[in-house]
Structure formats: structure tokens, C-alpha cells
Structure 1
Amino acid sequence: MTKILFSILFLFSIVSYSQDFSLSGKIIDATTKEPLEASTIYAESLKDSTLVSYTISDQKGAFELEGETGLKEVNVIFSYNGYKPLVMNVSLKKNVNLGQVQLEEMAEELEGVLIVGDRVPITIKKDTLEFNADSFKTKPDASVEDVLKKLPGVEVDSDGKITVNGKEVDQVLVNGQVFFSNDPKVATKSLPKDIIDKIQISDTKTKEQEFSGEAGDGESKTINLTIKEDKNKGYLGRLAAGYGTDERYQVNALLNYFNNKKRLSFIGSSNNINNSGFSFDEIYDMVGNTSGGYSGAQESGLINNFGNGITTSSNLGASYANSEKGVYEIDANYFFGYSDSYNDQKTSRENILPDSRYFTENESNFDGSTNSNRGAANIEYDVDKTLRVTVQPSLSVNRTNSINRNSTVSMDETGDLINTNDRTTVNDGFQRNFSNRMGIMKKLDTIGKLISFSFSNDNSQNRSTSNLNSTREVFGDDPSVEEVNQLSDINNRRNSYELEARYRHPLTTKLFLDVGYEYKNDQRDNAKDVMDYDEDSNGYTQFNESLSSDFNFGNIQQSPFIGLRHNGDKLNLRVNASYVLTDLKNEDFLQGTSFSNSYKNLLFRSRIRYTMGKNRRLYLRYNSGLSIPSVNQLQPVPNVNNPLNVVIGNPNLLPSVNHGVDLNYSNYNWKERSGVFIYTGLDIQKDKVSAISTTDENFLRTTRYTNIDGNYRGYGGIGFSKQIKKDSLFTLKFNLRPRLNYGRQVSFTNGVELKAKTFDVSPFFSTTYNYKELLEIEPGYGITFNNTKYNLDNIEDIEYTSQNASLRLTSFWPNNLIWGNDLRYTYNGNVGPGYKKDALFWNMSLGLQLMQDKGTLKVLAYDLLDQNINTRRTTGEDFIQDYQGTVLQQYFMASFTYKFDQFGGKKPNTGSRGRRYYN
């Protein structure tokens, strides 16, 4: 350890011996003498064209290229979209003023012939930020995720979530097409960096925005990966297999076939280490889920499981994409998944009453399996340049079965036993869902007038058979024992249809009027037959009418709307108002009762985006939304799945209205290589559907629902990142992300209003240090301060602290040897007795690259110190709860990964046509 610390200090000390340089000037059009904003200026070494530093010009065309290097002389390249690149040979000094740099506009050439600088690290094209993947050095055989971590303003967390200047990336495309699914991690973890030409980042757009050519809302980001010309025809494959102690295993396979715009992909995996199975990282895959709870990737279709404990899963998938510019675009995928999960967990819960409290200890065991089939497609067809038709069908079929055993004990404040409940629930279910969206968009002129129609449906069926076997015992002055043995048949159907018509009329070249109408019809049939066990007939023959139900729930909404939008160069404004007429109808065929209600709501949505140059943006958004109560919240039929807490719906509930406002600001300084993202927001809920609980003297609870005002949630935070780079020697990148959350939750217990105000602050800091391609160090630390205050004097306020520290150290020296260490320390403050508060989790891996780097032999130690835990504390308006669940235990695994590819595409243009050289 001493040697490692000494080496780190030595590497950081190199900074003091580096040579600073600064090149300044102004880029203008050679003909008009107008400044060229957002030009790219970058310096390369003369020897091997290694990128030294780069920057972007400001609104006045001014630039200042700064860096640290041991080089005495470099090539400085000036590039602007549509202009001939210019190269200058510059001798480096402390300060060099290059004066006015004039770029000449490109002459128009034949279609398909493009003259550009071949190594421009970054280009700004209108609303798209484009990076040259080869300009950012990574380790050999790096994935797309590895190069994303090198890009300025881009962050990738430990779970693979990507953000760009604070905005989440919600989709990653390959050559403009969906890659397997909408889950970005499928592409970023499985595709190698060396086949990627450009990484293009832009605001995510709706189908209508894509067709009309307008800018996206800016609320999320899309990354498009373009494949190199010489890699865009051929195939790419990955195979991996590993086996270890405790019978742990993992098998992965991936095959991609590219032929220009056509792509065919296959994926397969199987493992019992909570891994989603699509990563081929040489050192850190096959380590499972450290928290012990595997939530899978249901959006991607890769898996469908129960989300906690340890999961054994297998997946098979296929994906197809093809397009012809201006004619059609199609992508389709199919997945089959099987999973088997089990989880042993215990909870300790302090239940808060207005004048007292009681304690509940629960232990449960869950074991369940599911298999799923899912197919989806996206088809776009351009009848001509003004008319587009889209179809997006999706079908999923799932079968599930599970058994859940629970044992619960309740005690009063003195520790005396009040009641117990032992229950076993066995479920066998079937779910089927078909959804589709069809759209037609027609441009009526060339200045923004258009009309669009869309129709969507969502048809689902959920059938299940459930057996409940329960024994509830109450102690005290009036002891009792209640046994329940019931069989329930549930058949729920949903048929939902939506129709929308929209017309856009240009008032000016930048101001547009939107008018339209939306119709929704949501019909749900919920039937539940409960049969009690009859000892005489030795079967479930006694119909329990009080717990059975046969409901039809109808929700019809009509929404005429009107809106204005302004699409300016700096100001982008949208204001929309809709008048929502809601008709709810509920019929109880079993009880012969029905109710209906009508509601009228005026809702508003607005968004302002103000752009201050190419790098700074300010967003302000307000939304009001309507939330309809669920069927279970409306049905006045007792739910006794938990005999200690019987839940009864309320058919008189009102829809709740949520008012949300948020403000955020983002800026990236190319000169300083630093970015900042500031955000804040507030959500206020009117008529929120909240629980009203009544607890009797035996601590048996009955829960109903009502509408309550006074609930709100606020949040805010700052994100700051900075990158320091010394040519090809080292890169240092650090991030600071403090955030806070606050809110108030309102409920009623035994007729008394309970208000819980929550406040938590969570500062987080992380950094990444890369020394050449030999060493990568990634430390991080976060701490969360939690505070909950109650309105009743007899209830004590709660304060607790949780901490997380991590260190990832990866060495790529000597050649062909990769040594990885991943350490994480977790501390959970104030958890109750019997729950472990802290743990040091350490994974270690050693990989050897073979067969000209096509193969990797690896040995992994998972949870080397055998300390992995899954413990946490949560609080609510009337409870404090500690939780502990099953986690993946220590194991050791040996694995082998093999990579193969063959390409026969067009060789890329590596010449320097169009460049001008100045010495």
C-alpha cells in the first residue's frame, strides 16, 4: 500500500514540471470578416498527431487555447463547419497571440464528396455537439462507455447512467437507429470504441420534432454513435464464459452484423450473479450486483424478475434495423427472458400513533420465477418529403409464479406481545400486453405549417390464482385466533385508447399557434372470486362475497388545447393550456351498485429555454398534471392479503392535481475545461390520495383513502466538473455534486392529522486520474444527512447519517496484464440492533490479454473481505423502518472472453484535402 501511495504522489507531482502555454486570437470569415462563433481550435504533436489541447471560439470569434505539455512545437488546426480547415505550425511560448485567423468557405462539391479535417476532436453543429472518438485516448479494447467518461461535460456513474451537463441521456442510437432497446447501457457497454467514428450529442426529440426539424425540449439528451466507414460492413462478436466457487457462473454472447444502414444483432446470456449480462469489460464485468437487489432492465426487455435478492437469469434476444434516407426506417427486436429469484429479508418498524407507538418485527422468505417474451418495432415511412407515417407496436407475454412466507410480531412500548401473524401466499400469474401507436404527420408548407394525427391503444390482461393461508393470533385481555385459508381467482382486463389531432399554424417565421383535441377512453374490468376452504368438502367451495368483487371502471377524458411556441435563436418558448373534462364511472356488478363523477380542470404547461451563446442555457418549466385514483384505491372491497392491515378503497376519491416548477442553468467553459449545472424545483400536490389508518387496541390496522392537501416536495443541487490534461501524459477529472431534498407528507392516524417534514443534504465528490494508458484511479465519497420532524410533541424527531466511499484502481501495466480493484465502504447510521451498520466491499480482478488481444483470461475475487450487506433505514409520515435483505456472498471465478470481428467496408478518407498549411 505504501508503494501505491508513493506512486500516486509522484504522478501528481509531475504537474509542477509541465510547461504552460497559451495561444490566443480571433477567427473570422476571410470574405465577410465576420467572426466565426463555435470554431474548433486544437493542437496536435508533430510526431504522431496526438491531441494536446483544444477549445471553442466565443461569440466574437475569440479563442484562447491553453494547456500543459513538454513539446516545444505543435500543429494548431482551425476548423469550422462548411469552411476549409487551416493548419499552423506554432512554437510554444508562455503567451502567443496569433492575431486574426481567416478561414475560407468551402467551394460547393459533388454530392457525397466531403472535405473536412480528419481529426477534429469536437465540432458544434447547430444543436449537436460532435466528438471524434479517436481523439480521446483510452485503454486497448475500450468500450463506448470508456470513451464517454473521457468526454468533457459527460458523466457515467457506477450503474452506467449517463448525464451531459446534468441532463440524463435517455437513449443511445447507432447510425441514427435504436440498438436493441431504449436502454442506453446495451450499446455503451457492449460496443467497442474502436469501431466508433463520431459521438453526437443532442437534445432528445419527439417524433413530431424530428419530422418538423425543430429543436428538442432540452429536458434529456440523445447520443448517436456513427460507425467508421471501414467498420460499417462486416460482423463483430463477443463470447465470454466464467465459472467459480459456490457454483457461480456466467455466459455471454453478442453478435452484430453491419452493412451500411442495415444491422442485425443477437444477444444471449445466462448467470446466477445478478448480472444483466450484456457487458464485456475485461476487468469489471462478471461481478454481479453489489447491493444484492437486481432490478434487471425491463425497459430493454432483457429480463423480467422480482427485483430483490439473488437472481438466476437467462436471456435471448435479436434486433434488426434498416433504413433508406427519405423513404423508410425500421427497427425491431425480440427478447426471451427467464429468471428465478429468492430473497430472505427482515424489517424492524416503529409505528407512530398520536398518543403512543408500537413495534413490528417481520421476517419473510420469497422465491419466485418468471419467463417473458417481448417483441417491439418502430416503423417510419415517408410517402414523400411532406408526409410521414409511423407505427410502433409492442407485445409482451409473461408467466410468473411465486411463494412468499411471512412471520410478523407486534409489541407495545414495554415490549409486551400484542399480536402475531404467520402467512403463506402462493401466486401463479399470466400477463399479456399489446400496445401500439400510429401517427400521420403532414407538412402543409415550408415555413412550419403542419397537421398530425395519432392513435394509440393499450390492451392488457392480468390473470392470477392466489392461495392465502394465514393464522393471526391476538393476545391480551380478549385473546383470539383467526385462521384464513382462501383461494382467489383474479382476472383483470384493461382496454385503453387515445386519439389526438393537432394543427400548427405559423404566425410569423418564429411564432407558431398550436390547436388540437385529445380523447382518451380507459376501460378496466376487475373480477376477483374469493373461495374459502371448506373442511367438509375438503376443497375451496365456499364463496366469500364480502371479499369478492366484479368491477368495471371507466375513465373518459376529453381535452381541447391551445398553445403558442416561439422558436428563436436564443429564446425558445412554449405555453400550452388544456381544458380537461373527465368522466369516471364505476359499476359493481356483484353488489349491484354504481357511481359516477365528472370533473373539469384547466391545466397549463409552459417551458422557457434561453440560450446564452453555444455553451450556456437557462431552463424554466411549469407543469400542471392530473392523476386519476387507481382501481384499488377506489374499490370499497376489503383487501386482507395482510391480516394485520386491511385495506379498503374509497369510491368518492377526487383526481389529484400536481403543480410542478423547476429551474436549471448549465454552462460549459471550454477554456477552463469546466462545467456547471444548477437546478431547483418544487412540486405541490392538491387533493393527493393519501392513507387514513385506524389502529385498534390490539394494533390491528384498517387503511382507507381520502384526498388531502398540504403535500409538497422540493429539491435542488449543483453539479460541477473540471478536467485537467497534460498532452498524452495524464488526465485529471473531478466532479462535485451536492444536492438537497425537502418535503412534507400529510396523513391521518386514528383521526389525528400527522405531518412529517423531511430534509436531507447529500454532498458527493469524485475524481478520475489517468496516467497515460497505464493507470486509472477513481476515488469518490458521499454523505447524506437525513432529518424528519413531526408536528406532534410526543413524537421525537429523527436524525441519521449514511456515508458511501469508493475507490476503483485499475492498472494496465505491464503489457497485456490488467489488474483491477473496486472498493466500496457503506455506513448506515442509527439502524437498530441486529442490523449491521457498515461494511467494506472489495472486488479484485486480474486479467491477461492473449491471442493478439482477442482473448482475455481473468480471475475474479468477489467480496474479498466477505462483508457485503444490504441494509437501509427509511422514514415516513407515521413510521421508521430498518431493512436487511439477501445479498450475493463471496465467490471466486475464472473466466475467458474472446472477441472476433471482420470488416470489409470502405476505407476512411485519411487525407488532408481541403486543409491549408501555414508555417
Structure 2
Amino acid sequence: MTDPFMQKVLPAFLVFTFFCVNTYSQEFKITGKVVDAVSEQPLEATTIYAESPKDSALVAYTISDEIGSFTLEDRSGVKEVNLFFSYNGYKTKVMRVQLKDHVELGTLLLEEQAQELKGVSVVGDRVPITIKKDTLEFNADSFKTRPDATVEELLKKLPGVEVDSDGKIMVNGKEVSQVLVNGQVFFSNDPKMATKSLPKDIISKIQITDTKTKAQEFTGESGDGSSKTINLTIKEDMNKGILSRLTAGDGTDERYQANALFNYFNGDERFSLVAASNNINSSGFSFDEIYDMIGRARSGGFSVNRDGGFSIAGLNFGFGQGITTSNTLGASYANSKKGEYEITGNYFFSSSDSYNDERMSRENILPSGSFFTDRESSFEGNTMSNRGAADLIFDIDETLRITLAPSMSVNQTNSIDASSTRSSTENDGLLNENENLTSEDGVSRNFSNRFDITKKLDTLGTYVRLFFNNGNEQNNNESRLNTVSRIFGDNARTDELNQNTEFEAENDSYTFGVNYRQALAEKLFLDLTYRQQEDKNSNVRSVFDLDELTGTYSRFNSALSSDFLFKTSRKTPSIGIKKDTEKLRLGLDMKYQFSDLDNSEFLRSTSFSKSYKNVLLNAYANYNLDKSKRIGVYFDSYVDLPRINQLQPVADVSNPLNVVTGNPDLEPSVSRNVYFNYNDFNWKERTGMFVYFGLNFHDKLISSVTETDEDLLRRTTYINVDGNYNHYGGVGYSKEIKKDSTLKVKFNFRPYFNLQKNVGFVNGQRLEAKRNSFTPRITTTLNFKEFLEVEPGYSVTVNSTQYNLESYDDINFTSHNAELKTTLYWPKNVIWANDIRYNYNGSVGNNFDKDAVFWNMSLGVQMFKKSATLKLLAYDLLNQNINTKRITGQDFIQDEQGTVLTRYFMMSLTYKFDQFGGKKSKEGNRFMF
């Protein structure tokens, strides 16, 4: 049967997009070829851009291809343009061109720039895009955004760049792993710290490169190309002064938000301070006047998370579900002097209180059929964290660098979880039930450090590097378990547990080694590396039963207690060869890993030792077809050692309905991965495309073995199994269309798939589950001048799970997500925003909500020369927000629904204050509420 949702929503979305995309006006085309004036060699990646003579507004731009040819095609109402030709190291060429259907300019000669004249304003400052050897650079002012937009909104305007609802940034299919400000870390490596808090109007350039470590930058090595780094360059006249934001809001249902940001810039020195407090599942670090509290993130993002809980700068807020009240204070300092030092440091304090009521319905698969588990729970918990980190780089001279990166944190948590669970079958009805009350109180302390010394031995790339890393963690936890289990049927009984567990763990890890690179020829290198990692984990669990006579937990339970010392030693020599040219990057590494495991259990006076040897290969090949096309193939392999809880042969009875015991005979698992990608962006057509797929194979993967008795009580342990895999892939296509200055359209189509096979054992029988999913996603952004922005989107996810058991049917389910975001800038100084999402999950059980319309609305009025914004926010306007989802596992199908934020209204005031170079911002003081 055809899905009625797809019959109605998808065609409407496509018709709307098609209508807007095909609203064209008169076109123009300018063609030609750019070459060196002396050698007449083509100049690939020359930027050709047209500006209006009247106001220097950008009309269109393009990039020349590998033979220097270009086609500048667009639509505009202007009669003539100033046409610029810009190439790095060459004089910018300018000419006046009358626009026609087709203008052929022939061959244009560019002359080399003898030297840059200081103090002279050059038109090159306005070049919208520049392609250098390994850097793509955008001019921020060339891309119009709404008033008071953040950097995140600016990034969405850049060709080839996508930002999803969680704030994750992709550049033509590759994820951005860090965003720097003036080449320095901004608070943390989390990109969203900078993109969501900094305003667009202070940014001069956006530079995009392959991610490199500081050590790779120093030695001139290339990054592996797996991710991207964005560097934000602050405008020179704004790089000395103060930028501050203050946000406060009060709402119905006792909802509130308050956050503040202070930045001091002084050239290469920066000091930043952030503070936030709210009970709306927000980090508080977003300073977007339109959407800062509108709740666009959906599952564990930087900003609002409808499911509850989030993380930022290495800190976790909440427990991942429910509603969280959080308080945060952070400070960051950065300073550098080229050729001498670079210093960054940050400190964060956070506290949170969370609660969540959840219900779950689960079908558990057995060879003989299935049984059903229903669970209701109520959870409350709070956290308190302190974290400090620094990154210190000292260049002793041009050939010697010392790096030190310490980090410390202290985290305190306490929680209480009450649950009621019932298990039944269709034929026999209710077979068992459990009432469980668990309280926990714990503290963890962490210290880590990275230290290395790099010495360059020549100018060809030869170097030697010594490195030492350590990580030290202490965990102390006390938990109290009070549970009652009732077993029905022929062997009816009631089991009670009333226990107090004290848990102490110390985990110490030390890694040291040396890396030597020898230049064999120009751009050809031999790498020799030795790496050794020593881990020691001590784990003491003391379980005490309640003494009913004394009312104290004084009866030591030796059967459930343990005292483990687990040591691992990994010694890995490796040899590799690398070739690194502008067009081609090749690499091959072979590692021989020696692993030694020693495990001692002192309560039972048992111990065992094991040794393993593995040959591991890593290889990659990257080829740049031209300045905008790249193809890459990667292969790697690695070893995963068993975790302590998987090895410990001591029963964990925290869930009496499923008692888990480790297996000391487990062996390490070996994974082998193959990855392919292709990236292309056509500047002439404004189209981007990427293709990727990965194949992951796992040998001796650690998997669960479960035995379920006639009372539906389960006992689980672990074994090594073969046959597991995880394959994935996808395609991305983007297209930008412009109708002069009236309409701009950005279209994205991204289908992706995932194929998994999980192997386990249930009641002695091998259980194989093949899970396949396919998700096509379409999004469009339409900008009508600076008046209206419309962003529709739609995705559907088709899931299929197939089991090898003939007695069990395959599982198929589909979920739909449609969205529409609008922002209207009318009348003057008024901003009206809507974020509407429709979610449909028709496969969940009848006791769960299947669909909902989630609608947030914001109405803002800018006052006092745009220095203040008064805003009314309606969150979940229709009061339909839900958190329902279906998941499938190796041996189960589960529906669950938890507590979410529901409808509230909030009035907020925003005020900003900026002062640069001793002068206030042209728009006056600026603050944010």
C-alpha cells in the first residue's frame, strides 16, 4: 500500500521547490580564458567576480578551470558590471562590461604582483572566494545574511557548506572537526562554541582547510583529509576591542533563560567569558536573536534538545533524557606570538538537575517465539563538573617545537531511579514482575596530558618527534539497590535484594614513543615509529547486604564482590612510506602489535595472562583531479581489547531480571575498514556532489550470549563471534540558483544507507540480525531579497530487520519527518520566525503517540538603533511535542517514550555592547536578552 503521508506531503514539497527554482529572469553569460602574461600558462582557480558600479554590490562570481577557461552565468537587473580577475600573487585586473546574453572576452593576461604596497586599499579585499594551494577562502562581506546573524548563519550561505539542525557543519560531504578564531581554539575544539556565539559582522575571512594537528603544521605534513577545519579571521578594525552579549528571558510554566558572553580582542590576544542558566534544555551559548531559544536541535546537540541533555566543550549536561536545569560558567584565554609561542586555556564549571519519566515496551526474540517486557520508570539526577584545559606551544627556534597540553576535571553525580517492569507471553500471560529503586552517588577525577618535542632536521621534511601521553582517572561510587522480584506460575516465589555497593576504580594509561621521518626524495618519505602503551585498571566492588537485625549494611556479600587488577601492555613498531604532492597523496603503514594482558582477582586468588600478536595495515590514496575534485580511498585495521566488565566473572545483579556475568576467556577483536569518497564542486554551475561508502568487517567481535528460563529470567555473558559487519554509504547533491538580487535558492538532496549484521546467541542458538536502513533527505533554502527566508525539508527513513530464525517474521517500519522554517523581516525592525516540524512514526505500538506537529514561533522587535531586541517566543505552540521512537537490536524490538518540554511562552530582551578601536559600534551599544 502506498504511504498516504508520501502521497500528500512529498509531492507538495517538490512542487513548491520546483516553482521557486524555475522563477527565472533574463540571463547573461560572460566567457573567456585567463593566462599568465609572460608564459601564457593557464591560471587555474582564478576568481572572476562582477560588482555593480553603483554600490559595489556583488552580482556574480565563478572560478576558472584547469585550462584557465571560465563561464560567468547569472541573472541580474543591472545593465553593466565591473568585472574583476583575481589570482593569488598576481595583479588584479578590472574591466567594465556591458551585460548581454553572451559576452566573449577571449584571452585575458594577468601580470605577477611585484610586491604588495602597504597602506594602499586593494580591491582584492572584496574577492568573494579565493582558492589557494590547500585553502578555500571566502570573504564574509560578500555573502549577505539577515541582520545580526551568527557565524552559523553565514556558513549556510557559503557554496558547498551545510549546517544541520544540530549545528554540525559539513563541507561538501566532509565534517568540520574544529573552528578556530584567528588561528586559535575558541573555548574548545567543539565547532559550535564559535559558530553559535560569534556575530557574522565581525568576521573578515572564512578559511577552510583539511584538518591538521599542530605538529603536522610545524613539519609541513598534510592532513589525512578525513575532516575539515574552519578558521575565522576577525576584521582588523574589530580585532581590538570588546564584544559582549547579555540574554535574559522569563516565561510561563516557570521557564527561564539567562546567558551572557564577553569577548576582549587585542590583536593576537583574546579573553572570553560565558555564563548561562536555564531550565529549557539549552546550553545557553547560542546568541542567535531569532532562534536562540526556539529549540531547533532534536537529539543531543549543542543547543536545545527536546529529549533532554546535551554536551559542550567536553562537559555533559543532564543524563540524555527528560528536562534539564543547567548552570554554566566558562572562561577562555588565547595569546600568541608568531615564531615564539601559542597559548590557549579554558575553564568550565557546570551543574545540572534532570528528571525524566519514561515508559518502554519491548519484544524479546527467542528461538521458540518471543516474550514481552513493559517498563515504567522515574528518574531524577544532578551533576556538578569542573574542567580546565590548556594548550601550550613553544617554538625554541625555527626547527624545534615543544608542545604541552594538560587537562583536568572533577565530576560529581547523584541520582535516583525507580522502575516497575513486567514480563509476559501471549500464551501464559504475566510470568514475572520487578520493582526496583536504585540510588547512586559518585565522583570522578581525571587528569590527562600530552607532551611532545619535534625537531626538524632539514628543509625537505626530515624530522624526529618524541611523545608522551598520560591519562589518569579515579572513580568512587556508592549505590543502593532495593528490589523485589515476583515470579509467577508453578514455581512461584518472591526474591528481595537490599544491598549497598561501594565501587572504587583507578585507571592509569601511559603512552610514549618516537617517530622518525626521513625524506628519501622530494615529497617522498620513510616513516619509522615505535609506540608503547601501558594501562593499569584497578577495580574494587564491595557489596553489602542489609542486616535486618541491626538495620545496617554490614553483611559482606563475597559472591557479588570483586577486587580486580587488569594490566595491558601494547608495543607497536611500524614502518611506512608516504608520497605527498599537490596532486597525489599516497601512504602505506605496516604495524606489528604485541599485546600482553594480565588479570588478577584478589578475592578469589585467581589470575590469568594472555599475549597476542597482530599485523595491522593502514593505507590511503588521495588524488586531486583538479582544484575542486578529489577522490580518496582508505584502509585501516585496529585491535579492540575486552572491557573490564566483559572479563569479570562476577555477577551484576543491578537488573535482577537480567543478570550479567563477564567471561575471562575473551580475546581481542580485530576490525578492518575500507572507505571511499569523491568530492566535487562545480563553480560554473554552482553544484556540489559527493559520494562515499564504507565497509567495516569485525573478526572475533565481542557479542552477548543470553539464556532465558521458563520464568523469563535472563542470564547474559559474552563470547567472541565472527560474521559481524557494518556497511554504509551515501550521496550528496547541492545546487545554488540565483535570480538577480530577488531570489536565491539552495537545494540539497542527500540519500544515505546503512547495512548491519549482528551475531549473538540466544538459548544456545545462533541469532543473526540483518538491519538495513535507507534515508533520502531533501532540503531547500529560499531567500527573497532580505525580506523573507523559507526553508522546507523532508526525509523518510525505511528500516528493515531480518532474522535467521524461521519462527520469527522480519520487521519493517518507516518514519517521516517534514519541516518548514520561515523568517520574515517585515515591517522594519520586526522579525517573525517559525520552525514547524512534523514527525510520523506509524510503526510504534498502539500505546504510544505516533505523530505530532512541533511548532515554535518567535516575534522580535529591534529597538534603540538595533542595540536591543524584545522578543516573544512560543515553544511547542500546539502542545504536541513528543519523544517517541522505535529501535531494533540483535534480539529485540523496542518502543519508548519519555518526558519532553511542552508548550510555554517566554518574553526576552536582548542588549548588546560592542566597542572596537576605542569607538562604539556604528549600531551603538549591543546586548542580548
Q: Does 1:650 align with 2:663?
A: yes
Q: CA deviation at 1:113?
A: 8.0
Alignment equivalent of 2:67, drawn from 57, 60, 63: 60
Instruction: Report if the CA contact (8 A) 1:203-1:216 is conserved.
Output: yes
User: 1:485 corresponds to which residue?
Assistant: 498
Q: 1:841, 1:206 → 2: CA distance?
A: 41
Q: CA deviation at 1:759?
A: 1.0
Alignment equivalent of 2:441, drawn from 422, 428, 443: 428
The Cα RMSD (Å) is: 1.8
User: 1:703 corresponds to which residue?
Assistant: 716
Cα 1:755–1:724 change in 2 (3 A) is same
Instruction: Report if the CA contact (8 A) 2:708-2:714 is conserved.
Output: yes
Q: 1:378, 1:294 → 2: CA distance?
A: 31
1:124 aligned partner, one-letter code:
I
Instruction: Report if the CA contact (8 A) 2:21-2:745 is conserved.
Output: no
User: 2:41 corresponds to which residue?
Assistant: 34
Q: CA deviation at 1:34?
A: 1.2
Q: CA deviation at 1:301?
A: 4.0
Q: Does 1:247 align with 2:254?
A: yes
User: 1:179 corresponds to which residue?
Assistant: 186
Instruction: Tell me which moved more, 448-457 or 14-23.
Output: 14-23
User: 1:274 corresponds to which residue?
Assistant: 281
1:472 aligned partner, one-letter code:
S
1:410 aligned partner, one-letter code:
S
Alignment equivalent of 1:794, drawn from 794, 801, 807: 807
Q: 1:11, 1:316 → 2: CA distance?
A: 47
1:87 aligned partner, one-letter code:
V
User: 2:874 corresponds to which residue?
Assistant: 861
Alignment equivalent of 1:86, drawn from 83, 86, 93: 93
Q: Does 1:449 align with 2:462?
A: yes
Q: CA deviation at 1:287?
A: 2.7
Instruction: Report if the CA contact (8 A) 2:308-2:900 is conserved.
Output: no
Q: 1:469, 1:36 → 2: CA distance?
A: 75
User: 2:9 corresponds to which residue?
Assistant: none
Cα 1:279–1:600 change in 2 (3 A) is same
Q: Pairwise mapping of residues 332-351 of structure 1 onto structure 2 (< 5 A)? A: 332-351=345-364
User: 2:309 corresponds to which residue?
Assistant: 295
Q: CA deviation at 1:306?
A: 1.1
Instruction: Tell me which moved more, 650-659 or 206-215.
Output: 206-215
Instruction: Report if the CA contact (8 A) 1:51-1:727 is conserved.
Output: no
Q: Does 1:215 align with 2:222?
A: yes
User: 2:602 corresponds to which residue?
Assistant: 589
Q: CA deviation at 1:11?
A: 12
Cα 1:906–1:621 change in 2 (3 A) is farther
Q: CA deviation at 1:906?
A: 11
Q: 2:760, 2:812 → 1: CA distance?
A: 21
Q: 1:691, 1:819 → 2: CA distance?
A: 53
Alignment equivalent of 1:499, drawn from 512, 526, 542: 512
Q: 2:508, 2:20 → 1: CA distance?
A: 66
Q: CA deviation at 1:758?
A: 1.1
Q: 1:101, 1:665 → 2: CA distance?
A: 32
Q: 1:775, 1:107 → 2: CA distance?
A: 46
Q: 1:155, 1:780 → 2: CA distance?
A: 13
Identity %: 58
Q: 1:17, 1:580 → 2: CA distance?
A: 62
2:280 aligned partner, one-letter code:
I
Q: CA deviation at 1:284?
A: 1.2
Q: CA deviation at 1:207?
A: 2.6
Q: Pairwise mapping of residues 680-695 of structure 1 onto structure 2 (< 5 A)? A: 680-695=693-708
Cα 1:858–1:11 change in 2 (3 A) is farther
Q: CA deviation at 1:413?
A: 2.1
Alignment equivalent of 1:736, drawn from 714, 739, 749: 749
Cα 1:327–1:111 change in 2 (3 A) is farther
Q: Does 1:604 align with 2:617?
A: yes
Instruction: Report if the CA contact (8 A) 1:579-1:602 is conserved.
Output: yes
Cα 1:672–1:397 change in 2 (3 A) is same
Instruction: Report if the CA contact (8 A) 2:17-2:780 is conserved.
Output: no
Q: Pairwise mapping of residues 497-896 of structure 1 onto structure 2 (< 5 A)? A: 497-896=510-909
Alignment equivalent of 1:330, drawn from 324, 340, 343: 343
Q: CA deviation at 1:538?
A: 1.4
Q: Does 1:387 align with 2:400?
A: yes
User: 2:302 corresponds to which residue?
Assistant: none
Q: 2:74, 2:215 → 1: CA distance?
A: 43
Q: 1:294, 1:871 → 2: CA distance?
A: 13
Q: CA deviation at 1:555?
A: 0.4
Instruction: Report if the CA contact (8 A) 2:23-2:739 is conserved.
Output: no
2:226 aligned partner, one-letter code:
E
Cα 1:386–1:17 change in 2 (3 A) is closer
Cα 1:401–1:374 change in 2 (3 A) is same
Residues 278-327 of structure 1: per-residue CA shift (max 9 Å, x gap):
111111111345563233224x0454331111000000000000000010
Give unmatched runs, 5+ long, in structure 1: 908-919
Instruction: Report if the CA contact (8 A) 2:294-2:858 is conserved.
Output: no
Residues 671-704 of structure 1: per-residue CA shift (max 9 Å, x gap):
0000001011110000000000001110100000
Q: CA deviation at 1:15?
A: 6.0
Q: CA deviation at 1:728?
A: 2.3
Residues 476-522 of structure 1: per-residue CA shift (max 9 Å, x gap):
00101110000000000001000020100111101100001000000
Residues 408-445 of structure 1: per-residue CA shift (max 9 Å, x gap):
00001226110011010000000000000001111000
2:735 aligned partner, one-letter code:
K
1:326 aligned partner, one-letter code:
G
Residues 835-857 of structure 1: per-residue CA shift (max 9 Å, x gap):
01000010111000011111110
Q: CA deviation at 1:114?
A: 8.8
1:323 aligned partner, one-letter code:
S
Q: Does 1:364 align with 2:371?
A: no
Q: CA deviation at 1:14?
A: 9.9
Number of residue-to-residue matches in the alignment: 902
Residues 631-654 of structure 1: per-residue CA shift (max 9 Å, x gap):
000000000000000000001100
What SS does the corresponding residue of 1:117 show, helix, strand or coil? helix
Q: 1:114, 1:310 → 2: CA distance?
A: 53
2:306 aligned partner, one-letter code:
G
